[in-house]
Amino acid sequence: MSVRLSTGGRLIDRATEISFSFNGARLKGYAGDTLASALLGSDQMLVGRSFKYHRPRGIVASGAEEPNALVNMGEGARFEPNQRATTTELFAGLSATSQNHWPSLEFDVGALNAKLSRFLPAGFYYKMFIHPRSFWKHVYEPFIRQSAGLGRAPDSEDADSYEHFHLHTDVVVVGGGIAGLLAARAAAVTGAKVLLMEQTAHWGGRAPVDGGLVDGQPVGDYIDALVRELSEMPNVTLRLRCMASGVYDHGYLLGYERVRDHQPGAPGPRHRLWRVRAKQIVTATGAIERPLSFAGNDVPGVMLASAVRDYLVNYAVSAGKRVIVATNNDDGYRTAIALKQAGQEVLRILDARETGGGALMAEARRLGIRIDCGRAIGKVSGGKRVKKVQICAYAGAGGALEEVACDAVAMSGGWSPVVHLWSHCGGKLTWDAEQAYFRPDATRAPTGADGQPYVVPAGSANGVMMLDAICGDAVEAGRAAAKAAGYKLKKAAAIEAEPAPETPIEPVWMMPRDARVQLRMKAWLDYQNDVKVSDVQLAAREGYESVEHTKRYTTLGMATDQGKLSNINGLATLADALGAEIPAVGTTTFRPPYTPISMGAIGGEARGAVFQPLRRTAMHGWHEKNGADWEPVGHWRRPYAFARSGESVHDAVMREVKNTRENVGLLDASTLGKILVKGPDAGKFLDLLYTNMMSSLKPGKCRYGLMCNENGFLVDDGVVARIDDETFLCHTTTGGADRIHAHMEEWLQTEWWDMQVYAANLTEQYAQVAVVGPKARMLLEKLGGMDVSAETFPFMTWQDGTLGGFDVRAYRISFSGELSYEIAVPTAQGLAFWEALVAAGKEFGIMPYGTEALHIMRAEKGFIMIGDETDGTIIPQDLGLNWAISKKKEDFLGKRAQERAHMTDPNRWKLVGLETLDGAVLPDGAYAVAEGVNPNGQRNTQGRVTSTYYSPTLCKGIAMGLVLKGPERMGEVIEFPGTDGTVFKARIVDPVFYDKDGEKQNV
Amino acid sequence: MLTLECPYCGVMADETELTAGGEAHLKRFGPGSSDEDFEAYLFERENPKGVHFERWRHSHGCGKWFHAARNTMTLEVYGTYPAQTSEPPVEIRNKISGIAPGWSWRLFK
Amino acid sequence: MSEPTSALNRAEFKGIAKVEETGLHGMITLRGDQSSAAIKKAVLSVAGTVMPEQREAIFSDTGGVVWMSPDELMLLCPYSEVEARVAALNEALAGTHALAVNVSDARTVFRVSGPAARDVLSKLTPADLSPEVFGPGQVRRSRLAQVSAAFWMEDDETFGLFCFRSVAQYAFDLLKVAAAEGSEVGYF
């Protein structure tokens, strides 16, 4: 059983007891504990179930590499699944539950899978779910969905906030162990700006646990002094609880700071994503110990030797009272020694090496620990916790020599440098055969914008494992980074650390070496996804030679821990099965993030009111108060209709159309683009941009124009007003303002840069109101100021003047077919002007109208709408707009494209009006069917609906559509199948349904 | 995520401040051009593994278009320069030759 | 004519920094060749300052001139004077290819102040706001989360910034979130 010892624990504060709950049970820990240390301290060895076989699982590791101890944290709005107990700091009231079992952790029905494990080998999914095909939909897919996923999704809105933080610095040092701290100081003393990130809540990393002397001091004291020194340097920023999650192009690095995870509910963001641009990045990310692959290595109580040591030294928690240590290297002895010194019983050290280790072995022996060399674990027994171990010869098939009862096993398979960040952006690795690990290949570093390396590995992340060498390597790394960032180096004093020679590791990829198949089937590689030695061997037998393919076939390393623990074991097993060298098999690709980061951190501030920008006109607040039903148009919100109390939106739209046609309506047209184009070449420029002639427009006049792209397709339309000889004001669609302004700038800057033209986007400078309807003139006359009579202010002209005391620019243009003035006032007076119109218009029955009424009125008039009649494949000729395409101009954007064979094809669908025979409204987007079927067996089509409305003016459905040879087929009836089996019959008619001669707008 | 120096502002701009604008130095073919030339102008683009010339716009900054010469494999940036030119400046071409001898891109070497 | 109103009516928020919408300002976009004598002379006579260098922002008691791009300046002045200044610019620039236009109502100006001001803005913009890179006298055009903005420093703890008026509420809400109590970064 795991226990809390009565003394020791360098990170816990025994004066502060903390109570928490696990699966409803109330447990106690201390301030400074992680959830994992507190659970172990309470003898909670079973913490979860594996994904596939639902095997009982306990804590294996003490850090980010933990595959098993994933728990649901919190409740309600602070619930989050898959939180690693080993990296979760304990806080008062913490409530955690275990995952992946039903009905309970202790008794789990899903554990039946383990009994069937013989039938669920690697690739089971691919083999099983193929036949019979008919089973997929109703049997296999529901089954897979039921068992897929780890933890459960939160069901309420996250109560916390998140944010980003951008910064630029010279050097980022990742990892706050001895190497990171020394590298940071070495860089900082040159004057470089340094940011040091440490993922845990403590400085120092492993060194204080493993011990040693640096410059004559115990390494723990040396680190404390180093941290104090760094915190006083103005050019150094120290950040705990901040993990570097990824290294990206051009020195971009993401840091994931867990600001409030240990203080839930405190003000401030829960997580902060650091978006860093660094000139140089030092990766002092340490190393991770590898498990040994023996049968039963997943039984709760079997742990990494380093983790056993961490829990003991940092938290005074012993993994067991009677422990067996299995190792293939000297470091494992440290755990045995620490346990012994803490008064725990170490039953055996099983060293796979025939001749054992060096100085550490001698010390263990001196302490009276029994050491068996050339021995290995054959099998660990026990269900929910370790009960006994069968000991065998390492060089054998696993025949038991002895059986020893114990309650914990510490295993050490050697160390793997954490090369993730080095590798994220292209850093290559080299296999160190002597030490049996991949380490960064300094000659193939990731390179930045200047083509030079920008990542420097340091310490054990660089494959340097001994304390004295780590110190030297870290200082060199820090200096190299500072130099590459442009700082001058001074001589640095050498750091003296106690050298501790060790005897070389003997690589052990399977224990015992020739384990028989029954053992291999119980020797776990990937704990979370339940991948065993036998699965990888099966994959190799079935022809999976590439490590990337084997990964996907077996799911090795695909769990949330991404194979941190034992990917090397897995690929060594694959190499062995293939008879290949390990470096020839290679590694899978390391991709960010290093450990999972929250979606909240990625989203940052972008949620709720600031999820995305919402653009508001000056009258937005008025619309809101007056019942606007909103329609998003780009980032704008435009009123769709103004529903009165008790009125449906549809009824409101009908009323608004009717009132505008009979009395007077007001439309907030502020969102329409207004781009000022000025210069001696402005006319020439606009002639190239619009399909029709703009240079011939007289000052004071307005002209409707079309814009196409170089592909010939219609991209925007609007009214151009000529202000003076050199100046034009181009109106664009609401969604087109920024796009068309950018389009103009692009052509001016990149193709016609010799033209003397400037453009300015004045869209937001003006609030614009369309005053529309037969009584519009009466209303404006009542406001008084400028002469708005037909004689002095005719259709398609504009004038500056005043109305009701407001300085205005008024345009006599119409998108509704009614008498209409569009009036622009400075935005700062937009609301006041709108309110003045509403007040003055009362006697004329004035009502605001929204975009839907606007759409119906324009459709009644047969006016096209960009985005309805056009979809990026429509040329003006398709819409019967040939009148707006100049024949005289030599060139305009789109002219050449419109001469291409496909564009002049007489069979292109053309715009017509459509009228259902029974007055019903055609479904939007419906296709007209033609005789026969296409090669896919679908009905042939001959047209489609582009706009369709119920017209309150005509009291029937009206529509526009594109139809094969449409304009030649007036009067013909074509069929539009609906989605529900009904068929709409519609007659092809002229698209202008209302006031064909335009008498109403031109009065 | 790239950083490119805007040659107009003189700042190192984050990629999120920029808009990518496709291949640089396209020659426009308008009315009167052959179908082949016009098709190539509209649709045919380089997609090199190596040296490339691109258009970018400092859209959240000064709003200006500029060109970038960079390597699509290593992401090394050889230089950025204003868009008012129909070919890469000689000094940039020379610089690329120093780093990647034997490079070629469309008509340029 | 009624009293013109700014987008947010001088709304304020106080968290780890103070955020204020500073009301209406006269703003003129002036496009032209900044090396031409005529433009320099017009700027000097109308705005009272010399032509700013690249990314320079020059302020006086009654306004200022902000460099926006190699052919664009933003002239600041009291709101009531903007029309007169546009007219004066147009007069001074008669015969010169240039564009001077009133954009006062198309922008909203904010001030973000306090010791944490750099931290607050750094949550929203990828621009480098380190004191050694960015300080009073300079302007940077960049983005503030998802919208464009230009910012400068009035002193070492005070930023001025403007964005388009239609997104004033969004920008204010963003700044409020970035300046929320308890969200100190403590970096700068």
Spatial separation of the C-alpha atoms in residues A221 and A210, rounded to whole Å: 13
Indicate the fold that domain A162-287+417-484 takes in CATH.
FAD/NAD(P)-binding domain (3.50.50)
Please give, rounded to a whole number of angstroms, the shortest distance from the CA of B82 to a CA of chain A.
9
A670, burial (CB in 10 Å: exposed 0-12, middle 13-18, buried 19+): buried
Please give, rounded to a whole number of angstroms, the shortest distance from the CA of A608 to a CA of chain B.
22
Contact C55 B10 (CB under 8 A): yes
Spatial separation of the C-alpha atoms in residues A390 and A376, rounded to whole Å: 9
Contact B55 A248 (CB under 8 A): no
Which structure tokens are listed for A869?
A: 């009649």
Interface test with A, best of C28, C175, C183 (most A CBs within 10 A): C183
Spatial separation of the C-alpha atoms in residues A527 and A524, rounded to whole Å: 6
Phi, psi for residue C53 in degrees, rounded to 5: -80, 180
Contact A451 B30 (CB under 8 A): no
Using the Cβ of C68 and the Cβ atoms of chain A, whether some distance falls under 8 Å is answered with no
- Which residue, among A926, A923, A876, has the nearest Cα to A904 in the 3D structure? A876
Strand partners, A168: A277
Strand partners, A803: A785, A806
Confidence at residue C77, expressed as pLDDT on a 0 to 100 scale: 96
- Which residue, among A457, A472, A479, has the nearest Cα to A189 in the 3D structure? A479
Facing A756 at nearest CB: one of C3, C97, C125: C97
Spatial separation of the C-alpha atoms in residues A805 and A782, rounded to whole Å: 12
Indicate the fold that domain B3-99 takes in CATH.
Folate-binding fold (3.30.2270)
Confidence at residue A114, expressed as pLDDT on a 0 to 100 scale: 72
With beta carbons less than 8 A apart as the criterion, state whether B62 and B6 touch: yes
Contact C143 B12 (CB under 8 A): no
Confidence at residue C1, expressed as pLDDT on a 0 to 100 scale: 57
Confidence at residue A426, expressed as pLDDT on a 0 to 100 scale: 93
Using the Cβ of B84 and the Cβ atoms of chain C, whether some distance falls under 8 Å is answered with no
Interface test with A, best of C89, C108, C140, C165 (most A CBs within 10 A): C165
Helical pair A649-662 and A851-860, crossing angle rounded to 10 deg = 50
Contact B57 A746 (CB under 8 A): yes
Tell me which chain C residues have a C-beta less than 8 angstroms from the C-beta of A827. Answer: 105-106, 165
Please give, rounded to a whole number of angstroms, the shortest distance from the CA of C146 to a CA of chain B.
9
Tell me which chain B residues have a C-beta less than 8 angstroms from the C-beta of C54. Answer: 9-10
Per-position DSSP letters for chain C, written without gaps between them: ------TTSS-EEESSSEEEE----EEEEEES-TTSHHHHHHHHHHHSSPPP-TTBEEEETTEEEEEEETTEEEEEE-GGGHHHHHHHHHHHTTTS--EEEE-GGGEEEEEEESTTHHHHHHTT--S---TTT--TTBEEEEEETTEEEEEEEEETTEEEEEEEGGGHHHHHHHHHHHT-TT------
Question: Does the ipTM surpass 0.90?
Answer: yes
Confidence at residue A54, expressed as pLDDT on a 0 to 100 scale: 85
Tell me which chain B residues have a C-beta less than 8 angstroms from the C-beta of C148. Answer: 59-60
Mean pLDDT of chain C: 96
Strand partners, A196: A173, A238
Confidence at residue A283, expressed as pLDDT on a 0 to 100 scale: 98
For A341, other C-beta atoms within 10 Å of its C-beta total 12
DSSP state of A493: P
Using the Cβ of A144 and the Cβ atoms of chain B, whether some distance falls under 8 Å is answered with no
Contact B9 C54 (CB under 8 A): yes
Confidence at residue A23, expressed as pLDDT on a 0 to 100 scale: 94
Using the Cβ of A617 and the Cβ atoms of chain C, whether some distance falls under 8 Å is answered with yes
- Which residue, among A880, A878, A883, A912, has the nearest Cα to A898 in the 3D structure? A878
C76, burial (CB in 10 Å: exposed 0-12, middle 13-18, buried 19+): buried
Tell me which chain C residues have a C-beta less than 8 angstroms from the C-beta of B63. Answer: 69, 72
Tell me which chain B residues have a C-beta less than 8 angstroms from the C-beta of A900. Answer: 35, 38
Tell me which chain A residues have a C-beta less than 8 angstroms from the C-beta of B32. Answer: 896
Domain assignments of chain A as residue spans, ordered by start:
3-111, 162-287+417-484, 291-413, 523-583, 620-670+768-857, 673-764, 906-1003
Indicate the fold that domain A673-764 takes in CATH.
Alpha-Beta Plaits (3.30.70)
Please give, rounded to a whole number of angstroms, the shortest distance from the CA of C120 to a CA of chain B.
18
For chain A, which ranges sit under pLDDT 50? none
- Decide if domain A906-1003 falls under CATH 3.90.226.10: no
Spatial separation of the C-alpha atoms in residues A162 and A565, rounded to whole Å: 30
Q: What is the number of CB-based contacts under 8 A between chain A and chain C? A: 145
Tell me which chain C residues have a C-beta less than 8 angstroms from the C-beta of B59. Answer: 148
Q: Please count the CA atoms within 13 angstroms of the CA of A27 that sit on its side-chain side.
A: 25
| Reported pTM | 0.95
Strands A25-31 and A13-22: antiparallel
Contact A268 C3 (CB under 8 A): no
Using the Cβ of C149 and the Cβ atoms of chain A, whether some distance falls under 8 Å is answered with no
Using the Cβ of A750 and the Cβ atoms of chain B, whether some distance falls under 8 Å is answered with yes
pLDDT band at residue B16 using 50, 70 and 90 as cut-offs? very high
For A50, other C-beta atoms within 10 Å of its C-beta total 26
Confidence at residue A128, expressed as pLDDT on a 0 to 100 scale: 73
Fold matches, A162-287+417-484 and A291-413 = yes
- Which residue, among A600, A609, A596, has the nearest Cα to A158 in the 3D structure? A600
Contact A449 B21 (CB under 8 A): no
Using the Cβ of C90 and the Cβ atoms of chain A, whether some distance falls under 8 Å is answered with no
Contact A745 B63 (CB under 8 A): yes
Please give, rounded to a whole number of angstroms, the shortest distance from the CA of B71 to a CA of chain A.
9
Helical pair A219-231 and A178-188, crossing angle rounded to 10 deg = 40
- The B-side interface with A (CB below 8 A) comprises 1-3, 12, 14, 21, 28-33, 35, 38, 41-42, 55, 57, 59, 63-65, 71, 74-77, 83-84, 99
Using the Cβ of A890 and the Cβ atoms of chain B, whether some distance falls under 8 Å is answered with yes
Range 732-791 of A in CB contact (< 8 A) with C: 756, 758, 760, 762-766
Confidence at residue A6, expressed as pLDDT on a 0 to 100 scale: 94
Please give, rounded to a whole number of angstroms, the shortest distance from the CA of B84 to a CA of chain A.
6
The set of residues, in sequence order, having a beta carbon less than 8 Å from that of A991 and lying 6+ positions away, is A862, A880, A911, A912, A913, A960
**Neighbours of C (≥3 Cβ pairs closer than 8 A)?**
A, B
Please give, rounded to a whole number of angstroms, the shortest distance from the CA of A940 to a CA of chain B.
30
Using the Cβ of A902 and the Cβ atoms of chain B, whether some distance falls under 8 Å is answered with no
Q: Which domains does chain C have, with CATH numbers?
A: 12-23+106-178 (3.30.1360.120), 26-105 (3.30.70.1520)
Contact B65 A750 (CB under 8 A): yes
With beta carbons less than 8 A apart as the criterion, state whether C187 and A167 touch: yes
DSSP state of A334: H
- Report the C-alpha dihedral over residues A226, A227, A232, A233, rounded to 10 degrees: 70
The answer on pLDDT for B36 being more than 80 is: yes
The set of residues, in sequence order, having a beta carbon less than 8 Å from that of A557 and lying 6+ positions away, is A526, A551, A563, A567, A570, A588
Residue of B nearest to C133 (CA): B11
Facing B62 at nearest CB: one of C68, C126, C127: C68
With beta carbons less than 8 A apart as the criterion, state whether A972 and A917 touch: no
Q: In sequence order, what E strands does A198-235 have?
A: 213-214, 217-218
Spatial separation of the C-alpha atoms in residues A207 and A204, rounded to whole Å: 6
With beta carbons less than 8 A apart as the criterion, state whether A238 and A181 touch: no
For the A291-413 domain, the top CATH level (class) is: alpha beta
* CATH no. for A620-670+768-857: 3.30.1360.120
For chain C, which ranges sit under pLDDT 50? none
Tell me which chain A residues have a C-beta less than 8 angstroms from the C-beta of C118. Answer: none
Q: Which overall architecture, per CATH, does domain A523-583 show?
A: Orthogonal Bundle (1.10)
Confidence at residue A750, expressed as pLDDT on a 0 to 100 scale: 95
Tell me which chain C residues have a C-beta less than 8 angstroms from the C-beta of B60. Answer: 141-143, 148
A345-351 sheet: strands from edge to edge: A302-304, A408-412, A322-327, A345-351, A371-373
- Chain centroid to Cα A355, Å, comes to 52
Contact B75 A448 (CB under 8 A): yes
Strand partners, A366: none
Using the Cβ of A397 and the Cβ atoms of chain B, whether some distance falls under 8 Å is answered with no
* DSSP SS3 for A442: helix
Interface test with C, best of A160, A161, A162, A165 (most C CBs within 10 A): A165
- Report the C-alpha dihedral over residues C31, C36, C38, C44, rounded to 10 degrees: 80
